[in-house]
Structure 1
Amino acid sequence: MFVPADRPERFEKAAQRASAVIIDLEDAVSPDARPAAREALVASQLDPATTIVRINARGTEDHELDVNALRQTAYRYVMVPKAAVPAELPVLDGLGKPYKIVALVETALGVAQAEQIAAAPDVVAMMWGAEDLVASTEGTASRRAGGEYRDLARYARVRVFVAAKAFGRVAIDSVYLDLGDAEGLDAEVEDALAWGFEAKAVLHPDQAARVRVGFVPDDAQLAWARGVLSAAQEQPGAFRFEGAMVDEVVLKKARMLVRRAAG
């Protein structure tokens, strides 16, 4: 869950509701509030294993200030916005302690180099973003009037997802901006799960609750997964289960459902 870094009273609440907290020093914080936001970051004491800090991009006045603040914390996961040039991804050179990058790909250049970004050694996860992408192409909208993504956004989603999976990185789906559209969020979560995204970023606690539910297999799915895995222990190779053929690909899906159910 994204949380503005200048709203420290929300940090713990976000940590209770989401799998990870993204303390945001970039878009969610106005320029005049960023000094206070960095102070709040340094004073915070969230779990470093489930906390990500989104800093401002290289070339901005705030970038080095953000990095200096990050050095004063125990946090190790850094979200790099507008990730585009793999050589510029290491933002904490000389820190003297390990750090990992969540690459946020949200420009035309970043999408065009998604594979190179995914291959960078410090990258552990990739997320894509539609609104900055459209801005980078001088477009006007990432979605159609009905809410579905336009082809540009869909292309970025596909390319970043495939790049992440190809190099063993965690794939994070983008945020859903319409906070009042629960049905639209549910549909997008279902789609993300069908693709194989490991997580979806959110902006509000209500969204976090719905995403959590959406990513957990329902009772019927879990019963099927456990049943087919149990049957596989007695039947080596391909076999028939509930009228359908089962092979290793099907068993892999079943194992994935059981893992998701376990959290």
Structure 2
Amino acid sequence: MSHPAFPFGPALLFCPADRPDRYAKAAERADAVILDLEDAVAEPAKSAARESLVANPIDPDKVIVRVNPASTPHLVDDLQALRRTPYRTVMLAKAEGTADLVGLHGYDVIALCETARGVLAAAEIAHVPIVSALMWGAEDLVASLGGGSSRHADGRYRDVAQHARSQVLLAAGAHGVAAIDAVHLDLADAEGLRAEAEDAAALGFRATACVHPDQVAVVREAYAPDPERLAWARALLAEAAVRERDGVFSFRGQMVDAPLMRQAEAVVRRARA
């Protein structure tokens, strides 16, 4: 099944839609800006946020608009405002099933699977052709379970959050769409963010969402492949092209097969991003 390509680099930065003074700066700092009509905007300010979205256009190639969940009355108004903008990539908050995607045709959709229902429905959602990516979220997930904390005292995710992260990644990979890793809310914990982003990149996530501009550089560095690994990947692919190899062969003393070739391709793709 064909899905829209994921056009963004690894560092996506949230920006409240009711702060148009920050739009351009956020877009400059990150690989894409997520203009947020949902959690970052208080209920009384949502109408003004929509008007700000319409009145302050920036480069649509660097914009994702997070709209409110399908279970709320806000989504209809969000989509009406969106039609008055040049933006065509939408992040649907708290996606919980394919029915939530009705009304989003014509857009590239990033489905945010951040509740128990959403995580369990991730594979079905990823199968819908308009979906270009899945993202997961820890805090709303734990809240949907009646819990109070997604992490241990040392900063590690609790098991259920790790499970949800893996399930959303597997669902995205199974259906050929991108996976986006969740935000790291502890702004002072740059090393924790770096470790999570490095792990995300190694596992095949295409991006990590950020909540502060200072996190962008950390994420970009984490997603950039090690120079030695990149040189190895490029040399391997060049050797395979020269030899026109499509089976098992030896390269620098290592047996190379199709999975290793795909890993080399992923390393080069990360470098390009």
**Partner Cα distance (1:121, 1:255) in 2:** 24
- Give CA-to-partner distance per residue, 1:67-108, whole Å, 9 cap, x none: 211111111111111100211212346xxxx21211000111
Q: What runs of 5+ residues in structure 2 fail to find an aligned partner?
A: 1-12
Are residue 81 (structure 1) and residue 93 (structure 2) matched? yes
Out of 102, 119, 125, the position equivalent to 1:90 is: 102
Q: Structure 2 length as normaliser, TM-score?
A: 0.90
**Partner Cα distance (1:92, 1:250) in 2:** 37
Q: Tell me the CA shift for residue 117 of structure 1.
A: 1.0
Are residue 23 (structure 1) and residue 31 (structure 2) matched? no
**Partner Cα distance (2:145, 2:265) in 1:** 41
SS in 1 for 2:205: coil
Out of 239, 256, 259, the position equivalent to 2:266 is: 256
The answer (yes or no) to whether the contact 2:136–2:180 under 8 Å persists in 1 is yes
SS in 1 for 2:210: coil
Higher relative CO (Cα under 8 Å, sequence separation at least 6) belongs to 2
1:153 aligns with 161
Q: Structure 1 length as normaliser, TM-score?
A: 0.93
Q: Tell me the CA shift for residue 233 of structure 1.
A: 3.8
Cα-Cα RMSD: 1.6
Out of 126, 130, 143, the position equivalent to 2:134 is: 126
Aligned residue pairs: how many?
259
Write the letter of the residue equivalent to 2:87: Y
Write the letter of the residue equivalent to 1:42: V
Q: What runs of 5+ residues in structure 1 fail to find an aligned partner?
A: none
Q: Tell me the CA shift for residue 33 of structure 1.
A: 1.7
Query: What pairs up with 1:230-249 in 2 under 5 angstroms?
Result: 230-235=238-243, 236=245, 237-249=247-259
Q: Does the C-alpha gap of structure 1 residues 140 and 224 become closer, same or farther in structure 2, counting only changes over 3 Å?
A: same
The answer (yes or no) to whether the contact 2:15–2:34 under 8 Å persists in 1 is yes
1:137 aligns with 145
2:58 aligns with 46
**Partner Cα distance (1:123, 1:216) in 2:** 26
Query: Identity over the aligned pairs, expressed in percent?
Result: 54
Are residue 203 (structure 1) and residue 211 (structure 2) matched? yes
SS in 2 for 1:171: strand
Q: Tell me the CA shift for residue 53 of structure 1.
A: 0.8
- Give CA-to-partner distance per residue, 1:131-152, whole Å, 9 cap, x none: 0011101011111111111111
Write the letter of the residue equivalent to 1:218: D
